[in-house]
Structure formats: C-alpha cells, structure tokens
Amino acid sequence: MIFEVITLFPEFFRSPLEVSLLAKAREKGIITINLISLRDYGEGRHKVTDDYPYGGGGGMVMKPGPIIRAIRDLRSRDPRTWVILLTPQGVPFTQQVARRLSSFDHIALICGRYEGVDERVRCYVDEELSIGDYVLSGGEVPALVIIEAVARLVPGVLGREEAPEKDSFADHLLEHPHYTRPQEFEGKEVPEVLLSGDHARVRRWRREMSLLRTWIRRPELLDRPLREDEELFLKRLQGLDPEVDSR
C-alpha cells in the first residue's frame, strides 16, 4: 500500500515514521509513505502556497493552484489514487473508515494549514475526513493517525493476522482489560479466571468485560444488534452502578 502525504512540513513526519510499527512495515516493503512538499508546486520565484482571504479577516488561506497541481501530478502517475482532504468539516474517521481505506492500494492525504484551504480544492478530492471535534494547527497529526490506523489493517504489518480484530472498536466495542506479571501488584490481583487455563472461560470473561467497559464508558457504541448471550449479559448489568469500573 502506498501513502502520499501532501504537506508544507515534510520534516514533521520523519521521526514518527522511523520508529516502531510503521518503520518495520516500510522496511519490509509492505507499505510505502512518500512525503510530498507542497512548496514544490508553489507559485512564483518564492514558491507561494497561501494568500490573504477574500472578504477580509485574519489568517491566510492555502491557494488552490499548488494543491491541485500536486493532485494532478499524482493522478497522472496512478489514476486510481484516492485523494483525501483532512479538514474539520470532514466525515468522522472511525475504525470502519480505516477498514474501508485499507482496501485501497494508493491513498493521498492533503494536510491543510492556516485558516484552511481554498474551497475550490474540494472539487478535486474523493473524500474529506476529520479525526475529531477539536482544533489543531494543521493536517499533519491527522495524517499520521490515519496512516497508522489504516496500515495496521494491511496484511503482514502486525505480523499476527488476528491482532487487528481484537483491538478496541474492531467490532464496535472497547477492548477488555489486560494483565501481565506480577500476579499481585500493590494489593491488586490478576482476576482468577485468567490464571485458570480454561480458554473458554477466558474468552467469555474477556467478551463480558469488553461489553461492561463499553456499557460504562461508551454506551452509544452498543446501539447495534448483539448476540442473545450479549443481550442477556447487558440486561444483568442494569442493576449495576454506572460508576463501577471493570478494572
């Protein structure tokens, strides 16, 4: 899978892309991440990429020309390139969106800056995404979030094909609690079921704890069809204090 990142600050990405999961996936050739400097498509001797907004107001707006030239350049080399504009006005990025994007071979991410991009850029992209309802300085952090979330769904990136399906949100639920050594830490014990060696019990406990944690912290995620045993478990929770934590 190939990611193209169109940004004014390619250097922003160098450290995150050289460590851990993404670095290993790049070394193996499973994913490719190309950092494209928008300055290369800037206008005039000074490679200008932004200008004052029509109508007045503070801040600067990213010009349409440099961005659209970058998009056209990418599509001239691969017409299948899926172009995404990162913007607060975009569709919320979720695990389901990540799963959909993982089916693409070639994705381009446009990182906005300043007050945003010229509205006409929207006519040249395939979709717009937002990672949340808060203010950031630009699209670089969202681009990193999307790259990691999508890349880890690409076969071979994690090394354990089953791992992505057990993460939080993979099946619309928060993940169950995790424990490791020591068995007792400052008076807090590992749940007995995890020491039992009974794999069926462990699987049932983990599923129930996942449901409990979701019910307490993100109940809106449970607004979907559940299995009969899950429905019964949730009904038994109705008498619990909602402040109870699954820890």
pLDDT tens-digit readout, 102-119: 999 999 999 999 999 999
Helix (H) or strand (E) holding 232: helix 228-237
Is 152 noted as a catalytic residue in this protein? Answer: yes
Chain position carrying tokens 């020591």: 182
- How confident is the model over 157-164, as a mean pLDDT? 66
Q: Which CATH number characterizes residue 204's domain?
A: 1.10.1270.20
pLDDT category at 40 given cuts 50, 70, 90 is very high
Is 58 within a domain? yes
Catalytic position from the list 40, 64, 69, 115: 115
- Cβ atoms of residues 84 and 107 within 8 Å: yes
pLDDT tens-digit readout, 10-21: 999 989 999 999
Q: Based on the fold, state whether residues 13 and 108 are members of the same structural domain.
A: yes
Q: Give me the number of domains the chain comprises.
A: 2
Q: Please tell me the predicted confidence (pLDDT) of residue 244.
A: 45
What are the DSSP calls for 68-108, one per residue? HHHHHHHHHH-TT-EEEEEEEEEEEP-HHHHHHHTT-SEEE
C-alpha angle with apex 140: 12 to 51, nearest 5 degrees? 100
Strands 82-92 and 2-7: unpaired
For residue 172, the enclosing domain spans: 168-237
Is 158 within a domain? no
The yes-or-no verdict on residue 247 having pLDDT over 50 is no
Q: Which CATH number characterizes residue 23's domain?
A: 3.40.1280.10
Q: Based on the fold, state whether residues 68 and 135 are members of the same structural domain.
A: yes
Catalytic position from the list 40, 167, 175, 230: 167
Q: Based on the fold, state whether residues 140 and 53 are members of the same structural domain.
A: yes
Q: Residues, the chain, total?
A: 247
Catalytic position from the list 152, 164, 208, 213: 152
Is 88 noted as a catalytic residue in this protein? Answer: yes
Is 160 within a domain? no
Catalytic position from the list 16, 64, 88, 177: 88
Is 247 within a domain? no
- Cβ atoms of residues 30 and 22 within 8 Å: no
